[in-house]
Structure 1
Amino acid sequence: MSDDRLSLKEMCAKFDVTPRTLRYYEYIELLSPEKEGRARFYTPREVARMTLILRGRRFGFSLEEIRQWLLIYDEKGSRAQLERTVELADRQLVALNAQREDLERAIAELQALHDEVSAILARQDSASGHDG
């Protein structure tokens, strides 16, 4: 085995994923490990692709969007892929900002409910003479 390839086990450890995840990513054509018998080996290209896959997932992109994005590089080169990156990022930034606003609203509402209920409990405790 060459020094620059990772085994399935090493790849799982490097990215903290299960073998099932790597096999699924291979099945949907996100990864193309080298095969020797039943063994799979991941080249630096596959390591780089896995880094991009996980980054894309963290940003909220679907696996299909990531697959298509990676395919652009293979078919049209890096400039087309970079242009698509900007398009995807623009769209996802709008979605994430909307999610953040929803989350901030939910936090504010929950904090208000918490404060209101805590005040009711405090009044009940002081009226009945309980300490807590």
Structure 2
Amino acid sequence: MAKTYSISELARELDVTTRTIRFYEEQGMLSPNRRGQERIYTPKDRVTLKLIMRGKRIGFSLAECKALIELYDPQGDNHHQLSIMLDKIAERRLQLEQQLLDIKQMQVELDTAEERCRAALQGIPHQS
């Protein structure tokens, strides 16, 4: 029989809150079995949760994570899923590069504003 996990075991193992896990359930990304009120998670649920967490860490939206997970076929070679994943990685990399450029531009703007303020302060006589 395959190992199963309680919600608290998964939360502890993956360092997330039980509330987070329930949220992913509400979004239809996890579907544990029930034993009365207790949620019983399978190894597949555990892998799904790990993939969600990894996707979130690299900046994928929840919708993107969900779409990639839905493409997974345990019986296939997952060529399609992996190709789409590579496309998403390239898109994310471009977004990050643009954000870096934007941050550098903001730093230049801040430097300019700071220089102007300091120059203006030097031209104002100091009052005691």
Query: Shorter-chain TM-score category?
Result: 0.7 to 0.9
Instruction: State the distance in 2 between where 1:66 and 1:82 align.
Output: 13
Distance 2:10 2:111 in 1: 43
In the alignment, which residue of structure 2 is the partner of 1:128? 126
Tell me the CA shift for residue 120 of structure 1: 4.8
Corresponding residue for residue 96 of structure 1: 96
Tell me by how many angstroms 1:104 deviates. Answer: 2.0
Amino acid at match of 2:60: F
Indicate the residue corresponding to 2:87 in structure 1: 87
Between 1:63-72 and 1:111-120, the stretch displaced more is 111-120
Q: Which amino acid aligns with 1:35?
A: R
Give the alignment of 1:1-132 within 5 angstroms: 4-74=3-73, 77=76, 78-118=78-118, 120-121=120-121, 123=122, 128=126
Mark the CA change 1:47 to 1:75 in structure 2 (over 3 Å): closer, same or farther. closer
Is there any run of 5+ residues in structure 1 with no aligned partner, and where?
none
Relative to its length, the structure with more helix (as a share) is 1
- 1:94 alignment partner AA: L
Across the aligned residues of Structure 1 and Structure 2, the Cα RMSD in angstroms comes to 2.8
Q: 1:11 to 1:124 in 2, by over 3 A?
A: farther
Identity across the alignment (%): 31
| Count of residues in Structure 1 that have an aligned counterpart in Structure 2 | 127
- TM-score with structure 2 length normalisation? 0.76
Question: SS at 1:32's partner residue?
Answer: coil
- Cα displacement (A) at 1:107: 2.5
Gapped runs of 5+ residues in structure 2? Answer: none
> Residues 17-57 of structure 1, C-alpha deviation per residue, up to 9 Å, x if partnerless?
33222112112221222322111133332222112111212
